[in-house]
Structure 1
Amino acid sequence: MTEEPPTRGKGNAFPTPGGTFDPSEPVPRLRRELATGPEGLSARDASRRLAVHGPNEVRSKAHSSFLRQLSVQLAHPLALLLWAAAALAFVAGLAVLGWAILAVIAINAAFALLQERQAERAVETLARYLPEHAFVVRDGGTRRVEARDLVPGDVILLEEGGKIPADARVTDGGVEVDLSMLTGESAPVERTDASGRAGAPLIEEPNLVFSGTTCLGGQARATVFATGNRTELGRIAALSQRSRREPSPLEQQVKKVAWFIAAVAVAMGMVFLVLGAAVGLPLTDSLTFAIGLLVANVPEGLLPTITLALAVGVRSLARRGAVVKRLSAVETLGSTDVICTDKTGTLTLNRMRLQTVWTPGHGTSAGPWAAELAHTASLCTTVTRTHEGALQGDPTETALVEGAADRGAPLDLAERDADRRGLFRFDPRLRLMSIVQGDQGTRSLRVVVKGAPEAVLPRLHTAADRESAREATESMAGQGMRVLAVAGREWPEGTEAPTERRDAESELTLLGLVGLYDPPRTEVAEAVRRCHDAGIRVLIVTGDNGATAAAVAREVGIGVPRLHVVPASESITDGELDRLLVEDDVEVVFARSSPETKLKVADALRAHGRIVAMTGDGVNDAPALHRAHIGVAMGKSGTDVAREAATMVLTDDDFATIVAAVESGRRVYDNVRKFIVYIFAHTTPEVVPFLVFALSAGAVPLPLTVLQILAIDLGTETLPALALGRERSEPGTMKRPPRPHRQGVISRDMLIRSWGFLGLVSAALVMGAFFYVLWRSGWSPGAPTGEGTALHHAYTMATTATFAGIVTCQVGTAVAARTDHAALRDIGLFTNPLLLAGIAFELAFTTALVYLPPLQDLFGTAALPWDVVALVATFPILVWGTDELRRARRRHTQADAGSAEPVGSVRSSGLP
């Protein structure tokens, strides 16, 4: 006898962890490599193996410490700015404001810590798929043990209703298994003690069962070949842990913006501190000036405003059927430029129906022969009814039974079972199922076979109908149908029913073909069209065959202008994948995809700088859902693991909801930019008074106090900023391409508009109000205005006018910031009632600070006379009006140049 080549793990008393062997090889060889036998292991041997292999459970990596995670969040750049703002508030004696800022820091840190736990929860959820106990053969007898104690080489017993505790090879008997958690396909499959298929992936081997899947029927013995993290379930867990969540574009950009703001604030403070000393300003005044600049430049309300705006987006999406689990994901949705979607249940209804019947000699024409074929095909099923009368079982067979009823040939399930004399269940290797049906009135028997046309047609006893049947099969498959061939034979009267399927499934006569169809959702075609209008590519990544997926793609409009089908995605190389994905005018169907394929596609798209949304429903999809920028799980059909791994869960499993979420994400991003323009616009009128103070060497008294700046930053500006976060989408939001993924949330144009235009206009107005109050009281440069002087009250009124002027300029800025390009009339003055309420609040708050004595003492304000009130009341119209003229001129210039931007477009120039 020729000696077999050595294999790792061979020659040991038991296999070593990581030993490589082929679980689909002949059973005797597999048993030798696992050092086991038909009666399993002894208890002592199993105990030794457990010490080597470890428990049969999915283990996650060690969690990082809570304190370390907390310190990372508290040292976030924007958090550091908020710490500085809080410290200044306490120094200024505003303890309430200081504690409020600290509360904002704590809330944001809590959000971030919850996000960090997301990947860990997904792996922990995987562990719940494992059963607690298993039946195993030890020492020649059957015993019940904890599933975590199983080891390679154990012989386990599988039976209906139980979960499979480890990856194992069926060695005796057969079971029907639900593999949907691994494959995403809802149809159950049979696993028997059959020979392996050459070259088939492990998941498709007809003799292998996998940890965490469910046994739907039958009984079998199986030999365990993998446990714990070496199972298919454990491999997916390892992929999920390696696919760490990266910061979203908004998270990255907010960090950059925070450092930018900090650099500007510190640089200005240092420069003008030196300048103040150079012009002879006293040290106390110089320090006051530097602190004022820092407070004026730090947007204390930016982070909470962004957080609350994103929260509003989350609530809005939840009402539309999309539950978003991470706030920053709302913004990421808006920058998505590729959507990778499943086919079944997302693009389609996940409800098969009998679409077409073809019979030899009649084609697809209707008639009694069509109804008879539908009825005959429905006989070859095992579906049952629930207590409520609903059909339950394989979706394909359910469609056959319903299709027969629709064609006037309903099937009586009780009669079907009473007349049945034999059943050969669906064999995934043969791709066939057959039944032997009797007739209660006679002793005649009939065999009915259904299966894949390529499996049934070669079994016909005559070749007359084969060619026409093949042509009909290709035509029906090209229309997106799943085609089954139905054939039969009469069994000789008076003989016993066949006991071997090879006898029953030979010498057949073709009865016809049935075409089953899972129709696309009615709203998907419009959603795909909106994706194309918005510059978003749609790729299909499915476990289904290429022809069916391509037909569905064409029906819903995917593949414009070109569609490329990868029929065997498992074998695609990285180079081929890159070539496909760099062509923006090609949409791709990745058929027969595995978990690694989805992960590979997500990685490749990320490498090319795309922002990727990936859908998934099975445990096998968890790594890709982690890796994509936006993992989208199915709420109805998805597994717990997929929902934990995903960023967004669709409660209706509908592709159109993803597109609605993308639009909502774009709206939220646009609104974030609007309130950033609003917040930054008043930085200039807050800084200019300090510059005037410094450059005049104190000849002009300080036109604004630090406390008044804090009152603006944390009081009057907050509610209008939040209201801008509730603005509706501008016209044309889904008519523009996705923004470049490297584009910052703050662009050069935004800074020019906020600091250089709106800010300068506001600064000129408020300084005019300040000097107007002083000059009307007889002030001249250098005149003393300190406490106890004749001009002190006039000076207090002047600073109050500056404060009130900034607030009224904010009102004009808020109205102007509602649109980046369009005219105000295009969106309507009263379409955002929350903004009107916010403006009303800030005016009321300002009135209280100006006219209520307790607040006057705290913030250093004084009541304003009617002429000053009338003056600052004109500021909103002046600020909004000048910006409206600027936008009108820009629209006119772009129209003349023939290069008008889409409404609501954003510029590509951004800050680093």
Structure 2
Amino acid sequence: MKISEDHTTPAIAAPGVSAPVRDPREGMQALLRDLRARPSGLSVEEAVRRRAQYGPNALPEKRGAGWASALVRQLIHPLALLLWGAAVLAWLSGTPPLAVAIVAVVLLNAALAFWQEQQAERSVEALAAFLPPQAHVLRDGHRVEVDAVEIVPGDVILVDEGATIPADARLLDGAVEVDMSALTGESVPVVRTAGESDPDAQLLHVPDAVFRGTQCTGGGGRAVVFATGSATEIGRIATLSQGVERKDSPLEQQVRKVAWLIAAVAIGVGVAFLPLGLLAGLSLSAALVFAVGLLVANVPEGLLPTITLALAVGVRSLARAGAVVKRLSAVETLGSTTVICTDKTGTLTANRMQVHQLWTPHVDIRTASEIPPGDGHVAALAEVLGRCTEATLDGDHSTGDPTELALLRFARTHVPARGALRIAVHRFDPRLRRMSTIDRGTERREVSCKGAPESVLPLCRLTAAERATAESVVAQLAGRGLRVLAVARRPLGATVPADRDAVERDLILCGLVGLLDPARPSVAPAVETCHGAGIRVHVVTGDNPLTGAAIARSVGIGDDDSAVVTGDVLAAMSDEELADLLQADGEVVFARATPEEKLRIADALSRRGEVVAMTGDGVNDAPALRRADIGIAMGASGTDVAREAATMVLTDDDFATIVRAVEAGRRVYDNVRKFILYIFAHAVPEIVPFLLFALSGGAIPLPLTVLQILAIDLGTETLPALALGREPAEPGLMDRPPRRRKEGVVTRRMLIRAWAVLGPVSAALALLAFFSVLWRAGWTPGAETGAGSPLHSAYLEATTATFAAIVACQIGTAFASRTERVSLFTAGLFTNRLLLIGIVFEVVFTAALVYLPPLQSVFGTAPLDGWTLALLCTFPPIVWGADELYRWVGRVRARG
């Protein structure tokens, strides 16, 4: 697009695109020329033209998939497909009510997952909250208030104290102090001054640039807008965040693999054994019944709802502990976490500045907490801090800059508030980097002054040696990551000078104060627990490297030899160098990290096979929170952007809650394995009767019917499986290393327990019950047991005995599944009350099917005699005892 020289419209971008003209670090005159802007602002007509050309000052929006496709995805999930198959099989087997029940389970699970997904994606909408609804601009040389969406490149905005910056801009005049924590993570406000430039600085550190979504905490001035909408830093982060696709959690990946494995086995077994039944001499109808029975026996109809409800229980327990999880699978992801990348401000720290160390000409550097109240050596310093402030302390109603509130709290600890008449105040000037007040006490007028050491020390009456000492102390405190302020005073005569320079001279140095946003008391124990659990913790912050390293060491992250990598150094690293850094033992502090660099760190860790949890609270954290396996945002101090991008929100902003969440995630995953073991173990006693029927060529009647299998899978099995999802954590849960990302939810040891211990023992006991009834009735192999035959009633009682025997073995399997390695006596026999309730239910349910005539006719059952019932009572301890022996052998081998 070519523009004539006298045209006032800047050649910035194509219509509808809001973008910066060129690098905003160029000279101001060049920027004004390229923007076709004037210090007096645009005309109204020109603003309207640019609004039409570049579009609104709004964040980019990305439309996701429609709700219909999202819902369909939940209906064709692998486990859902298995349940659809089970419903078809139930219908084909002549039990429409069971088919309807299975379909209801599929629809219920799909609706729950769909709702979770729709609630989880709100990042861009939250970013919009950082655009103030209105702003002040110059139009035709006059100050006017406009909607923030109407601001265009070239506008001159007016930046006042307390205002939120509506677009990215550079100062034409004035100086401001800006809270940049939402973009950089740095807790200390930064100064931006017109006329200063640094062509080599990173964009966020350009000395005269202010950015959309940040807040002016002091000063004022005019600024020319160079970027709006998606071209702003926040807009860029929004675009970056939208481009990050969520990955399936480890559990989702493993469950999908297990589901397809089960489907393949079920179909394969059914298809393979259909001709086997025909070869064994079965009729076609009998062979079909045989194949359908194998399919039904291999499909765990209750697996999907059991996993979903177990995760939902984990979500509720975490919410009570202060962690709100937005995706059910995130509960399990927490349990597999191997690396935590944590922000500093508001995460490791409370985002609440306080005086940490101080120095006076009479007192060497001391920690503030070690100085008793009323110490005379710090009284003068505290007196000045109490006067030289515009903050007020009033409990929850305190007002003022966080730094001033911290200084005022320290002052009130060491000197009482004294009545003094405020005569004048010279507010903080970002260019001068100091403030002063003139107060009249009971005896005299006095000037109180505080500010940056390089601003205040030259105004003090100091000898060369005293100045050198003070500057050395400043270097020491700054080297410890502290924000350093100099405090001074001087008596004033009866005349109060009107000129600020005349007031702020010939000062007497009271001392130096070092402020720090301290670590939360709960963080250090939480970090220690993480280390015990085999989890490494890296600090990834936009803050000062000295401050980040100091806070990290104070909570036990790394040590004095740990690497501290700044954003510039990280940007210069190759992917291989970054991988080597992360591969090495120890923990790293990444400082001055940009959103892209946080993403790069998360990607590098993920390529190494790590399961990454990323914490954050600022706008700049949103892309990394989305990319990580689990993003953890701060609920109280964090931004809406971070909360919406994350999969988990800490309502108490406590790092220790992450550790509790990791423990809960490990417990949930263990419990998922426990009820999968419980379900898998039942496949053997359900399949063996059909194999016996087929291999005998029908000489042995079918010991279990298809309807009875469905009654087990959807009736007696469900509540105990759910109860296993509520099992308390096993001892030593947080003393073992995280499981590997590729480690399956189904392990070799689990299959051995299910298919070589619990399953065969249960199958043998079930067949024992079946044959004991038939033999006592005089049955011999090949004898007729069909309807109308003399042995038909005995056959019905025998199949009922098989059904009841499997249920009895389920009870033993449920107790055995409660622990993976330790003895059940260590965990406690009766510590899971829900399991006891589930067992009572399945016993009552089984009794109803066995003894109620209406259900007898549906499920083909018959009453059992006392001898059979007594035999069944021995089955649970036999099954549990066999597994207890297997686990004891495993513990002995592990110790040996």
TM-score, normalized by length of structure 1? 0.91
Q: Which residue of 2 aligns with 1:92?
A: 93
Could you say if the C-alpha distance between residues 493 and 9 of structure 1 is closer, same or farther in structure 2, counting changes exceeding 3 Å? farther
> Where do 5+ consecutive residues of structure 1 fail to align?
1-5, 897-912
Q: Which amino acid aligns with 1:55?
A: P
Structure 1 position 294, deviation (Å): 0.9
2:301 counterpart SS class: coil
Aligned ranges 1:423-442 → 2 under 5 Å? 423-427=427-431, 432-437=433-438, 439=440
Structure 1 position 16, deviation (Å): 2.1
1:587 counterpart SS class: coil
Aligned ranges 1:632-671 → 2 under 5 Å? 632-671=632-671
Q: Which amino acid aligns with 1:380?
A: C
Q: Which residue of 2 aligns with 1:36?
A: 37
Q: Deviations over 1:53-72 (max 9, x none)?
A: 22211121222122222222
Aligned ranges 1:385-424 → 2 under 5 Å? 385=393, 390-410=397-417, 415=420, 418-424=422-428
- 1:341 correspondence with 2:345: no
Q: Is the 8 A contact 2:184 2:592 kept in 1?
A: no
- Report the Cα distance in structure 1 between the residues aligned to 2:448 and 2:485, rounded to whole angstroms: 16
Q: Which residue of 2 aligns with 1:156?
A: 157
Q: Is the 8 A contact 1:9 1:15 kept in 2?
A: no
Q: Is the 8 A contact 2:120 2:327 kept in 1?
A: no
Q: Is the 8 A contact 2:21 2:35 kept in 1?
A: no
- Report the Cα distance in structure 2 between the residues aligned to 1:634 and 1:761, rounded to whole angstroms: 51
Structure 1 position 306, deviation (Å): 0.5
Could you say if the C-alpha distance between residues 165 and 550 of structure 1 is closer, same or farther in structure 2, counting changes exceeding 3 Å? closer
- Report the Cα distance in structure 1 between the residues aligned to 2:396 and 2:326, rounded to whole angstroms: 38
- Report the Cα distance in structure 1 between the residues aligned to 2:704 and 2:639, rounded to whole angstroms: 59
Q: Is the 8 A contact 1:426 1:434 kept in 2?
A: no
Q: Is the 8 A contact 1:380 1:433 kept in 2?
A: no
- 1:675 correspondence with 2:675: yes
- 1:513 correspondence with 2:512: yes
Q: Which amino acid aligns with 1:889?
A: V
Q: Which amino acid aligns with 1:108?
A: N
Structure 1 position 567, deviation (Å): 4.5
Aligned ranges 1:313-332 → 2 under 5 Å? 313-332=314-333
Q: Deviations over 1:343-400 (max 9, x none)?
A: 23322333333343311243247642312112223433331356x6843222222111
> Where do 5+ consecutive residues of structure 2 fail to align?
14-18
- 1:271 correspondence with 2:272: yes
Q: Which residue of 1 aligns with 2:288?
A: 287
Q: Is the 8 A contact 1:8 1:21 kept in 2?
A: no
Q: Is the 8 A contact 2:486 2:513 kept in 1?
A: yes
- Report the Cα distance in structure 2 between the residues aligned to 1:561 and 1:31, rounded to whole angstroms: 48
Q: Deviations over 1:472-502 (max 9, x none)?
A: 44555566654333345677985734345xx
Structure 1 position 833, deviation (Å): 0.8
Structure 1 position 226, deviation (Å): 0.9
- 1:15 correspondence with 2:19: no
Could you say if the C-alpha distance between residues 722 and 8 of structure 1 is closer, same or farther in structure 2, counting changes exceeding 3 Å? farther
Q: Is the 8 A contact 1:317 1:664 kept in 2?
A: yes
- Report the Cα distance in structure 1 between the residues aligned to 2:523 and 2:218, rounded to whole angstroms: 37
Structure 1 position 230, deviation (Å): 0.8
- Report the Cα distance in structure 2 between the residues aligned to 1:499 and 1:286, rounded to whole angstroms: 102
- Report the Cα distance in structure 1 between the residues aligned to 2:136 and 2:100, rounded to whole angstroms: 60
Q: Deviations over 1:187-243 (max 9, x none)?
A: 555544342344333333343232233445655332221111111111111111011
Could you say if the C-alpha distance between residues 531 and 852 of structure 1 is closer, same or farther in structure 2, counting changes exceeding 3 Å? same
42-51 or 293-302: bigger deviation: 42-51
Q: Which residue of 1 aligns with 2:123?
A: 122
- Report the Cα distance in structure 2 between the residues aligned to 1:467 and 1:99, rounded to whole angstroms: 86
Q: Is the 8 A contact 1:371 1:407 kept in 2?
A: yes
- Report the Cα distance in structure 2 between the residues aligned to 1:159 and 1:487, rounded to whole angstroms: 28
Q: Which residue of 1 aligns with 2:819?
A: 819
Q: Which amino acid aligns with 1:420?
A: A
Q: Which of 372, 376, 379 is residue 380 of structure 2 equivalent to?
A: 372
Q: Which amino acid aligns with 1:376?
A: V
Structure 1 position 35, deviation (Å): 1.2
Could you say if the C-alpha distance between residues 282 and 9 of structure 1 is closer, same or farther in structure 2, counting changes exceeding 3 Å? farther
The size of the alignment, in residue pairs, is: 880
Q: Deviations over 1:125-152 (max 9, x none)?
A: 2123323333433344444443323221
Q: Which residue of 1 aligns with 2:389?
A: 381
Q: Which amino acid aligns with 1:763?
A: A
Q: Deviations over 1:711-762 (max 9, x none)?
A: 0000001100111111111011000000001111111111111122100110
Q: Which residue of 2 aligns with 1:312?
A: 313
1:563 counterpart SS class: coil
1:535 counterpart SS class: coil
Q: Which residue of 1 aligns with 2:527?
A: 528
Q: Which residue of 1 aligns with 2:16?
A: none
- Report the Cα distance in structure 1 between the residues aligned to 2:25 and 2:537, rounded to whole angstroms: 37
1:384 counterpart SS class: coil
Q: Which amino acid aligns with 2:325?
A: V
Q: Which residue of 2 aligns with 1:74?
A: 75
- Report the Cα distance in structure 2 between the residues aligned to 1:581 and 1:351, rounded to whole angstroms: 31
Q: Which residue of 2 aligns with 1:3?
A: none
Could you say if the C-alpha distance between residues 543 and 721 of structure 1 is closer, same or farther in structure 2, counting changes exceeding 3 Å? same
Aligned ranges 1:221-300 → 2 under 5 Å? 221-300=222-301
644-653 or 92-101: bigger deviation: 92-101
Q: Deviations over 1:643-687 (max 9, x none)?
A: 111111111111111001000100000010001000110000000
Could you say if the C-alpha distance between residues 506 and 339 of structure 1 is closer, same or farther in structure 2, counting changes exceeding 3 Å? farther
Q: Which residue of 1 aligns with 2:170?
A: 169
Q: Is the 8 A contact 2:185 2:543 kept in 1?
A: no
2:551 counterpart SS class: helix
Q: Which amino acid aligns with 1:816?
A: A
Aligned ranges 1:96-111 → 2 under 5 Å? 96-111=97-112
Could you say if the C-alpha distance between residues 664 and 514 of structure 1 is closer, same or farther in structure 2, counting changes exceeding 3 Å? same
2:723 counterpart SS class: helix
Could you say if the C-alpha distance between residues 120 and 814 of structure 1 is closer, same or farther in structure 2, counting changes exceeding 3 Å? closer
TM-score, normalized by length of structure 2? 0.92
Structure 1 position 547, deviation (Å): 2.7
Superposed CA RMSD in Å reads 2.8
Could you say if the C-alpha distance between residues 475 and 301 of structure 1 is closer, same or farther in structure 2, counting changes exceeding 3 Å? same
Q: Is the 8 A contact 1:8 1:20 kept in 2?
A: no
Q: Is the 8 A contact 2:633 2:648 kept in 1?
A: yes
- Report the Cα distance in structure 2 between the residues aligned to 1:569 and 1:615, rounded to whole angstroms: 22
2:449 counterpart SS class: strand
1:465 counterpart SS class: helix
Aligned ranges 1:750-761 → 2 under 5 Å? 750-761=750-761
1:729 counterpart SS class: coil
556-565 or 290-299: bigger deviation: 556-565
Q: Which amino acid aligns with 2:415?
A: G
Q: Is the 8 A contact 1:562 1:586 kept in 2?
A: no
Could you say if the C-alpha distance between residues 464 and 361 of structure 1 is closer, same or farther in structure 2, counting changes exceeding 3 Å? farther
1:543 counterpart SS class: coil
State the identity as a percent: 58
Q: Which residue of 2 aligns with 1:624?
A: 624
Q: Is the 8 A contact 1:122 1:645 kept in 2?
A: yes
Q: Is the 8 A contact 1:447 1:491 kept in 2?
A: no
167-176 or 244-253: bigger deviation: 167-176
Q: Deviations over 1:391-450 (max 9, x none)?
A: 3222222111111121125465xx37x1334334344xx6x3131535467886646232
Q: Which residue of 2 aligns with 1:213?
A: 214
Structure 1 position 186, deviation (Å): 5.1
Q: Which residue of 2 aligns with 1:543?
A: 542
Q: Is the 8 A contact 1:374 1:409 kept in 2?
A: no
- Report the Cα distance in structure 2 between the residues aligned to 1:98 and 1:141, rounded to whole angstroms: 74
1:586 counterpart SS class: coil
- Report the Cα distance in structure 2 between the residues aligned to 1:30 and 1:477, rounded to whole angstroms: 35
Structure 1 position 555, deviation (Å): 2.5
